[in-house]
Amino acid sequence: MPSSALSRRALLRAGALAFAAAPLAGAGLARAASAAAPGLHVLKDPSCGCCGAWTEIMRAEGFDVSVEEVPNGPLVRRKIALGIPSQAASCHTGLIEGYVVEGHVPAADIRRLLAERPDAVGIAVPGMPWGSPGMGPEAEREAYDVVLIGRDGGLSLWSRYPAA
């Protein structure tokens, strides 16, 4: 009888230790996941609400997002310096692993960009199409394209999203 009581006690003690250590293990896993998440630095006008919505979507999609608020005039100059042609411009600019992500680009397209690593400036969703990430419900989206910005400033189709 004492041996079974001892083994139950040992089992309870081991369970209690595992339960107590779980938050520490979870914190370690969270740090590891955070360290592995691609860093996405977003340049946005301080008064733009849809930019904030897009950054929250990107965080929810697993990107490690930092935000730099830049007034509109200097923001436009930075876009030009980064090689974003005016016909590809939108309200905010993301910088990730040497690429530009202009506007309301879906997370899947950013992941594809990072996986394929084309010789390009980056990708863009020109303008602010309704239903693109951060611009209203996807169930009501209008058709829009994601374009690849070439090093020469030329644009080519990267992906297409039909109207919902």
In the chain, % of residues over pLDDT 90: 73
DSSP 138: G
Question: How does pLDDT run across 83-92, given as a tens digit for each residue?
Answer: 999 999 999 9
SS3 113: helix
DSSP 72: H
Q: From residue 158, give the alpha-carbon distance in Å to each of 84, 85, 89, 138, 149.
A: 15, 16, 16, 19, 9
**Torsion angle, CA of 54/55/61/63, rounded to 10 degrees?**
150
Q: Which two tokens stand for residue 106?
A: 């879906």
Question: How does pLDDT run across 23-82, given as a tens digit for each residue?
Answer: 444 444 444 444 567 899 999 999 888 889 999 999 999 999 999 999 999 999 999 999
Task: Examine the pLDDT at 97 and tell me if it is beyond 70.
Answer: yes
Whole-number pLDDT of residue 49: 84
The gap between the terminal CA atoms of the chain, to the nearest Å, is 69
Residue type at position 22: A
Question: Distance (Å, rounded) from C-alpha 107 to C-alpha 111?
Answer: 6
SS3 97: coil
**What pTM did the predictor assign?**
0.77
- Phi and psi, residue 83, nearest 5°: 95, 20
